[in-house]
Chains A and B, each alone.
Chain A
Amino acid sequence: MTTRANQVELAVASGEVSFDAKLEKKVGETIKRYPTARAALLPVLWMCQERYGWISHPVMAAVAQRLGESPAYVEGVVTFYTMFRTRPPARFVLQVCRTLSCAVCGGKELMAHLKERLGIDFGEQTADGMFELQAVECLGACGSAPVVQINDDYYEHQSPEQIDAVLENLRGKD
């Protein structure tokens, strides 16, 4: 887990928060693609989340400064969208679809199974920081219900046995 360290890395030093050269280059290029700097906000937040794992207050402040917005404005946008993480995530975030097509095709059972298997409730992380459970609304893959999104990847048609195998596989990756 590098995320907590990065928050510190950003906030300390001269007391000034800024992007490193590589991120700054990407941010600069992105701003050029839009008529206003503000329009680059979502793409820049995505870059920050990729780089730091989550969007901390120092990161919001840095983004605000770079785009000429107030930190409050940036926080308002960050917290409106459910995919921007405002606390350090686990290594693998399991977003389990709870909406109708999934719910009636084994999704409810899958949710109960995952809670028991990982020993945590939705909204919580395992003690080793490996897995986090989130119940989310429709992921747009209803034809292959039930669906779980793990980080960027979709896992479709998931039975309890299949998701167990997926979890085992992910555990082996770390």
Chain B
Amino acid sequence: MDPILLRSRGTPDSQSITTYLVAGGYNGWEKVLRMTPDAVIHEVTLSDLRGRGGAGFPTGKKWSFVPKDHPGPRYLVCNADESEPGTFKDREIIEHDPHLVVEGVAIAAFAIRASVAYIYIRGEFARWARILDKAVAEAKKKGYLGKNIQASGYDLEIVVHRGAGAYICGEETALLESIEGKRGFPRLKPPFPALVGLFGMPTVVNNVETLACLPHIMTRGAGWFASIGRPRNTGPKLFCISGHVKKPGVYELPLGLSFRDLIFDAGGGVRDGHTLKAFFPGGSSAPIMTASQVDVRADFDACAEAGTMLGSGGVIVLDDSVDMVEAATNIAHFYAHESCGQCTPCREGADWCVDILERILDGHGRADDPELLQRICTYASNGMTICPLGDAFALPISSMVKKFPDDFQRRIATATPRPQKKKPVLPWAGHLPGFGR
């Protein structure tokens, strides 16, 4: 497959609007400006494009939830808060093709009749925020943004808004709170953002990669897009392959290949002298898969059937050198640190998991610890919390305990009781002296 979303990777000066225009850039946007918003929604619905941020929700359908008769403003928000462990694709698009993102934002904003769009980018991506700022300024100067664009009567401003270090702000309602100048606390749903979103107005939040597909759909047509991949799992997808592979990186492939293709063909296989032990199919929030599941198709529906999820397409490969107790502790630590703290099952549950996993690691595990971990995971997921962060730590940890019982049992079998010592359970314990051993 010829690269679509990553076609500019390797092109010199690919960030400038001149290069982008030479490659046919903003043709889709010019076409959209002569269409009706409903026609744009119809075309995207026909393409079967599904959200690339993790949930895989059909994009055209999401847009159609925005009320057409709403009198006030409405907003389009681009989610560039890429923070899911194992995911590094949006940064790649912004780095090589920032105008593709800007054009995608413009098309989506037009479809829902928004005249202001925000690009929310994670705080650590300071350099990439500057790249987007420059792209927006260039597009405005060339008349692709601003007032009465190309004499169409349509106005659009794009504001790049930088986060400040909080994984939870990738959750769409926490992201909206963050733009509003608040702590990133997810909101209780319903109402969904399509009805009550940013500043209380109808809002659509789309991922960078989803938006980057739009200029291509508008120029080449929904039929072309739907011809890539498999039914209901259409189009190109960026897969981020990291961990123990020979060639880690971002690969653009059609949906529907197997994980074997991703790990062994694209990623070059695991390191010499090692064998595949497990992999996360879509970021660390997805239930882990064992080496025997490597022939599962990497698309939304096949992953769901296999009891996991494609998520963001972040494939983390672990070879036989990895101890699952250590890996689970690392993952649990991440979520314990990133829990916003609103809901008790997530705030306390993630910390408890860290405590229990660390005690197993330290050689003081107890016989019923695996069961205890499972119980915490059960009560932190399945709708027990406002947002899915509870599920995000519960699913991987629960699956690691279930699928790799030997790693846990080996340590527990030789464990000794821990000398009783009170230990602080604080979400910010990572900053305390002594951390990092």
A125-146 interface mask toward B, CB cutoff 8 Å, 1 = contact, 0 = none?
0000000001111111111110
Measured between beta carbons, the chain A residues less than 8 angstroms from B338 are 137
| Cross-interface CB contact of B127 among A38, A145, A154, cutoff 8 Å | A154
Contact partners of A104 in chain B: CB under 8 A: 243-244, 318, 321-322, 327
Task: Indicate if the CB atoms of A81 and B165 lie closer than 8 Å.
Answer: yes
A95 to B430, CA, bound (A): 13
Q: How large is the interface on B (under 10, 10 to 19, 20 to 34, 35 or more residues)?
A: 35 or more
Residue A35, interface by CB 8 Å = yes
Instruction: Tell me, yes or no, whether B162 is within 8 Å of chain A by CB.
Output: yes
Answer yes or no: B91 CB below 8 A from chain A CBs.
Answer: yes
Q: Which residues of A contact B86 (CB under 8 A)?
A: 100-101, 138, 142
B273 cross-chain contacts in A, Cβ below 8 A = none
* Distance, CA A43 to CA B160, complexed state (A): 10
Instruction: Select from chain A the residue with minimum beta-carbon distance to B432.
Output: A123
Are A138 and B84 in contact, with the CB atoms below 8 A? yes
B314 is an interface residue with CB less than 8 A from chain A: yes
Q: Provided the pairs A42-B164, A111-B436 are in contact, do residues A101 and B431 lie with their beta carbons within 8 angstroms? A: no
Q: A100-B330, A105-B243, A135-B436 are in contact. Are A43 and B162 (CB under 8 A)?
A: yes
Residues facing B in A102-134 (CB within 8 A) are: 103-105, 111, 115, 121-124, 134
Beta-carbon contact of A40 and B124 below 8 Å = no
List, in ascending order, chain A residues with CB within 8 A of B73's CB.
35
Give A116 to B91 CA distance when docked, in angstroms: 32
Any chain A CB within 8 A of the CB of B258?
no
Instruction: For chain B, residues 130 to 183, give those with C-beta under 8 angstroms from any C-beta of chain A.
Output: 159, 161-167, 178-183
User: A145 touching B434 by the CB < 8 A rule?
Assistant: no
Say whether, besides A82-B165, A121-B434, A100 and B178 are in contact (CB < 8 Å).
Answer: no
Contact B180 A36 (CB under 8 A): yes
- Check B334 for interface membership: any CB of A closer than 8 A: yes
Q: How far apart sit A19 and B435, CA to CA, in the bound complex (Å)?
A: 38
How distant is B51 from chain A, measured CB to nearest CB, in Å? 18
Give Cα distance in the complex from A77 to B169, angstroms: 13
**Do A138 and B248 touch (CB < 8 A)?**
no
A36 touching B199, Cβ below 8 Å: yes
Contact B164–A81 (Cβ < 8 Å): yes
Which chain A positions have C-beta within 8 A of B42?
none
With both beta carbons as reference points, the residue of chain A lying nearest to B327 in the complex is identified as A100
Evaluate contact between A140 and B181: CB separation under 8 angstroms: no
Cβ-defined partner of A143 (8 Å) among B162, B167, B178, B240: B240
Contacts A105-B244, A135-B436 given; does A100 touch B166 at CB 8 Å = no
- Residue of A43, A46, A149 near B124 (CB, 8 A) is A149
Contacts of B241 in A (CB 8 A): 143
For residues 216 through 253 of chain B, which have their beta carbon under 8 Å from a beta carbon of chain A? Answer: 240-244, 248-250
Find B181's partner among A39, A46, A84, A115 (CB 8 Å cutoff).
A39
Q: Is the pair A98, B240 in contact by a Cβ cutoff of 8 Å? A: no
B residues whose Cβ falls under 8 Å from a Cβ of A: 73, 82-88, 91, 122-127, 159, 161-167, 178-184, 199, 240-244, 248-250, 284, 314, 316, 318, 321-322, 327, 330-331, 333-334, 337-338, 340, 430-436
List of 9 A-B pairs having minimum Cβ-Cβ separation, nearest first: A41-B181, A81-B164, A83-B165, A142-B242, A82-B165, A38-B181, A101-B242, A80-B183, A152-B126
- 19 A/B residue pairs, CB under 8 Å, sorted by A: A42-B178, A76-B183, A95-B124, A100-B284, A100-B327, A122-B433, A122-B435, A124-B433, A136-B165, A137-B83, A137-B167, A138-B83, A141-B91, A142-B243, A142-B314, A143-B240, A143-B248, A145-B242, A152-B126
Known contacts A104-B244, A105-B243; 10 further A-B pairs (Cβ under 8 A): A33-B159, A45-B164, A80-B184, A104-B318, A122-B431, A137-B334, A138-B167, A139-B124, A140-B82, A144-B248
